[in-house]
Structure 1
Amino acid sequence: MNHPTTPVGTAQRCIVGGEVADTGSDGPYRRLSAAPGEPHRARTDFRPPAAPAPGRRVVATLAHLTDLHVVDPGSPARLDFAMRDGAGKPGWGGAVDWVFRPQELLTTHAAAAMTRTLAALPVDFCVVTGDNIDNAQANELGNYLSLLDGGVVRPVVGGSYHGPQRADWGDEWYWLPDAPTDRYQRRWGFPRHRGLIEAASRPFEGGGLGRPWLACLGNHDLLVGGASAARAGLASLVTGGRKPVRLPAELPSDDALHTLLTTPEVFFSGPWQPVPPVPERAFVTADEMIAAHFVAGGEPFGHGFTPANRRDGTAYYTYDPAPGLRVIVLDTNHPYGHWDGSVDHGQLRWLAEQLDGLRGPDAPLVVLASHHATASMANGYGVCADRASERAYAAALLRVALGCPNVVLWLNGHHHANRVVAHYSPSGGGLYEVTTAAITDWPCQARLIEIAIEPSGEISLTSTMVDHDSAELPADEEPGSPRWLSALHRELAFNDGVRAGRRGAAGSVVDRNVRMLLPPIPTTPQSPTTM
């Protein structure tokens, strides 16, 4: 476990916006270019800055990747068409603001590039914190497991893409790589890439992470569009031969969010295009998703999920990936729907019980992992007023976590952005909450975290952002190859005019390559924090 500290990832080289390739009415389309590496900066939230000392003990180095959003881009149950009319509109609550991505045909290629990159780095284990797939479908689940464990990846089910990015569908609201013009080309200077859809649709072999990895469930893994738990009315649609292309004219837009969460089939009752029926698109339940991790191969068996999870219908667990380290994975998904998170009180009690015996320098350090960050942990949708205490939110979880001094790190995703937040314990010390950007959106990064104990007893957490190893310029890769496709994915993601390409998803310098110091674990046992 004592890997040498070497400069990897963005400590050596960063990827940034480069020269302007074309210009649209709303802004330029830029190539990407390499820039000097970003040095590690010291966070001083708990301790003054100090260089790593001789004799420090590295407990483990983990890789954190999140929000792969492995997508079926031609699924009849996708809400891509709703973004056109509902994005930013009153009554929608932001439910469809970010559904369509111009790079979505290349999502599996970006994930494959990152797994290939991480497999070559000195990492002990990986933590994958949810939104592994995009729309809770069986074919997406199969691709995600093939990407992380190795196996055949089929970016387009059936081998042929039938969806709105086809030029012969004639909808210029989308980016149409084979068409001479569209909204993306006119407004943001997007390129034309003839033959891209055909190249992106070809099956390829996923190499896998090649090391133990732990799974966690996110809202997109379980809910239609990452929001609606009401899937029964869409069961025949998702596997059927009609793909909706516009919202129905009679949709009550002033209460669209409520409609999506309760009767989503209303959204899918408008005009449609014929597509081949595909049984493999069936929705999967949480139980089926967990069970799939036990037959996928790779290590550990079940990827953290346990027989108790399968027996009890839960998705939270503990796992010891290295001596002196425990990972506690939470399930922060809300059973009634909506994209934000919370936990039930049974899980909160379970967490408190797990932490009660983990106190003092001889006990393991603890890493929490969840899909949702504390900033998005206030989801009480559908909870009756007379049962308001049914769910627990960020404050309650933090109170329990901060009551155990051995909890030093909380990993999560959901926000598609790099963030590092310090949380302070009333009794001294605290923990760092580290949110990592999405693979599917710019900056398309993962994160390494080295956990070490200094000779002073201080806990050192060193974060390094990682870009996948495809070239900055797609032109530097073989046209049509998986590496070319992953390079193009990153370039398109940077230039997505309605997303985070230029809006701070990369975070600030103190959210990326940072060294975080926490005080030594106290030797005097502390009383457990009550819930």
Structure 2
Amino acid sequence: MSDMNRRTFLTIAGLGAIGAVSISGRPWGLQYAGAAPLPTSGAGTTLEATAVPLGTSGYRKLGAGPGWPTIVRTELAEARNGREDRRTALASLVQLTDVHLVDTQSPVRFEYVHPFTGSAFRPQETLTAHGLVALVHRVNALAAGPHTQRPFDAVVSTGDNTDNKEFAELSWFLTALNGGTIVPNTGAPDRYEGVQNSGADLYWNPESPIQDMYKKAGFPEIPGLLGAAIDPVTSPGLRTPWYCVFGNHEDSVEGTVPSGIPPLDAMYTGSLKFEVPGSPEQAKAVDIATKYDPGAIAGVLSAFTTPPRVVTPDPTRAPFTPRQFIAAHLDPANTGPGPVGHGFAPDAGDTGIGYYAFDIAPGVVGISMDSTNHAGFVDGSLGAAQFRWIEDTLLAGSSVYYDSAGARVSQSRSDTWFVLFSHHTSTTMDNLVPDPANPTEPRIPAAQLVSLLHRFPNVLAWVNGHTHENRITPWAGPTPEQSFWEVNTASHIDFPQHGRILEVVDNADGTVSILTTLFEADSPYSVDYTDLSALGLASLYRELSFNDIHTDPVRLGASVDHNVELLLSSGR
């Protein structure tokens, strides 16, 4: 594989007939009848505590609630007693996803469509850098998996690392993960120039007494917030090697509009920012155009009956291309804890190939997929060449596989466990619009990828983001050994702002377990609004995200999507 471097009992309804789910009476950990508990340390994770609202209605501050237990999910394999005494840790890794570092002052944003698409404006979005720095602090403090105590082998960020594919946002992301000081500001060096001091009722204006639609929902007035939000913030950088995955927000304008749509490219570095449309109908027209008819955007904007705001232009707001995104990771100045390129191959800046394989740990290989579609739009798919490469990579690391007709094939090769990573999920990979850079190449939907993964008994999991939701899905294969788990984790811009730890263990009984544990950023659940320190702003970032008028409780997921042990038949 030399080319791999390219790089208490509780029954839960709905988990199927395999049965019971065990939880411990302790604050954390797994426990089974007749077996000793796992040597688990849940400190700093949601095994120990979780953010909960104080009060029952209106705008609410947050406090520390009880930790969540680890639930055993047995849809795909039996949980055998005593395995905690037999098991061996194979890998320990961290998933970060959808951090969405936002240049909130960019002229190319459509905040005014948030009544129709809530993610267009978030009251917490000026604080994304502070939130990510607090998340980096947490990963460093944890340092190892809570169940196995194996030091983290890798951190994987599964896309939407930036919000609007700007060089400024990319610089903040790389600095946050590698270490250094971020100035989360563009345009004028001494003031904020964005919608949150526009005086428009449509947005939360934190430094103004105006009773905007957010203040009417209970949002506070916080003098000095916007000035503090653009002050420098220093990140320690990760202490673990990290890898990067493409998201649609690294490929398309605002994650949906393909590049090259006039006049957007010129607007990025220009001085005119549309903050308020003349009517809700004009805002709705932009919303429809960005989702379904990007070519109509220029005409819709030209029809606006309200003048744009004049802002300070900034060349660092220029949009990057996928090749430039890769090249920035390959720049030795951005190596940080490594590896060089953070997974991208040395020539990927020239080829534009955004997918690669990498060694997570001995015998455990990660496959990073690029599920974006250069044609734009929110959802993704795979190109046929990438799909063939995935198949070839799996074949190269498999002693046994199933052919397309379902026949079991053995080959004289050593077995490798595989964990796949992508931004998009099995429910969001049906965008089959031809890639304008390669219009004759077929696009591959999620269903074909699932069928491919079912052919390989050594595929453990497909880990992804995009939906901003915690959801874990069992994918049962034709035989138990052909099954795998899909692990989808919530974003770090919308509440609940989680990251996820995944520990892979061999139970030495014909099964493998993936132990997943959610964690929150290293910031207080609540601070006084006069605390405008970096830590205080990171705390406020979480609080505002919970109270966002567009927040969706579904994103939290259910208990079976949180801290879980996922059983698989190893076939060994």
- TM-score using structure 1 length: 0.89
What does 1:195-206 correspond to in 2, within 5 Å?
195-206=224-235
Q: CA deviation at 1:187?
A: 3.7
Match of 1:38 among 60, 65, 68: 68
Find the counterpart in structure 2 of residue 529 from structure 1.
none
- With 4-13 and 284-293 compared, the bigger mean Cα shift is at 4-13
Find the counterpart in structure 2 of residue 431 from structure 1.
484
Identity of aligned residues (%): 34
What does 1:224-239 correspond to in 2, within 5 Å?
224-233=253-262, 234-239=264-269
Q: CA deviation at 1:366?
A: 0.3
Find the counterpart in structure 2 of residue 66 from structure 1.
97
Q: CA deviation at 1:4?
A: 6.8
Find the counterpart in structure 2 of residue 91 from structure 1.
none
Find the counterpart in structure 1 of residue 442 from structure 2.
390
1:241/1:41 CA distance change after superposition, 3 Å: same
Query: Are 1:280 and 2:280 counterparts?
Result: no
The SS at the match of 1:178 is: coil
Find the counterpart in structure 2 of residue 312 from structure 1.
351
Q: CA deviation at 1:138?
A: 0.5
Provide the rounded CA distance (Å) in 2 between the counterparts of 1:19 and 1:235.
Answer: 46
Find the counterpart in structure 2 of residue 180 from structure 1.
209
Task: Kindly tell me the number of residue pairs found equivalent between the two proteins.
Answer: 497
Provide the rounded CA distance (Å) in 1 between the counterparts of 2:309 and 2:363.
Answer: 56
Find the counterpart in structure 2 of residue 297 from structure 1.
335
Find the counterpart in structure 2 of residue 14 from structure 1.
50
| One-letter identity of the residue aligned with 1:488 | L
Find the counterpart in structure 2 of residue 114 from structure 1.
135
1:185/1:478 CA distance change after superposition, 3 Å: closer
| One-letter identity of the residue aligned with 2:560 | V
Find the counterpart in structure 1 of residue 506 from structure 2.
453
Match of 1:149 among 171, 178, 182: 178
- With 151-160 and 375-384 compared, the bigger mean Cα shift is at 375-384
* Unaligned 5+ runs, structure 1: 21-26, 88-95, 523-531
| One-letter identity of the residue aligned with 2:206 | P
Q: CA deviation at 1:382?
A: 5.3
Provide the rounded CA distance (Å) in 1 between the counterparts of 2:555 and 2:241.
Answer: 28
Find the counterpart in structure 1 of residue 540 from structure 2.
488
Q: CA deviation at 1:383?
A: 7.3
Q: CA deviation at 1:38?
A: 0.8
Provide the rounded CA distance (Å) in 1 between the counterparts of 2:52 and 2:530.
Answer: 22
| One-letter identity of the residue aligned with 1:7 | G
1:247/1:180 CA distance change after superposition, 3 Å: closer
Query: Are 1:83 and 2:114 counterparts?
Result: yes
Find the counterpart in structure 2 of residue 93 from structure 1.
none
Provide the rounded CA distance (Å) in 1 between the counterparts of 2:134 and 2:291.
Answer: 38
The SS at the match of 1:303 is: helix
- With 7-16 and 264-273 compared, the bigger mean Cα shift is at 264-273
| One-letter identity of the residue aligned with 2:374 | P
Q: CA deviation at 1:309?
A: 2.3
* Unaligned 5+ runs, structure 2: 1-37, 145-151, 401-413
1:472/1:304 CA distance change after superposition, 3 Å: same
> Cα deviation per residue 1:42-100 (whole Å; 9 max; x = unaligned)?
0011123345422311011111110000000010001112334xx1xxxxxxxx44210
Find the counterpart in structure 2 of residue 256 from structure 1.
289
| One-letter identity of the residue aligned with 1:357 | A
Q: CA deviation at 1:258?
A: 6.1
- Check whether the contact 2:289–2:297 (CA below 8 A) recurs between aligned residues: no
RMSD over equivalenced CA pairs, Å: 2.2
Match of 2:560 among 498, 510, 513: 510
Find the counterpart in structure 1 of residue 406 from structure 2.
none
> Cα deviation per residue 1:118-161 (whole Å; 9 max; x = unaligned)?
01111221110000000010000000001111122121124331
| One-letter identity of the residue aligned with 1:335 | H
| One-letter identity of the residue aligned with 1:508 | A
- Check whether the contact 2:94–2:156 (CA below 8 A) recurs between aligned residues: yes
Provide the rounded CA distance (Å) in 1 between the counterparts of 2:525 and 2:80.
Answer: 34
Query: Are 1:466 and 2:519 counterparts?
Result: yes
The SS at the match of 1:505 is: helix
What does 1:306-455 correspond to in 2, within 5 Å?
306-360=345-399, 362-381=414-433, 390-429=442-481, 430-455=483-508
| One-letter identity of the residue aligned with 1:208 | G
Provide the rounded CA distance (Å) in 1 between the counterparts of 2:195 and 2:288.
Answer: 26
- With 324-333 and 121-130 compared, the bigger mean Cα shift is at 121-130
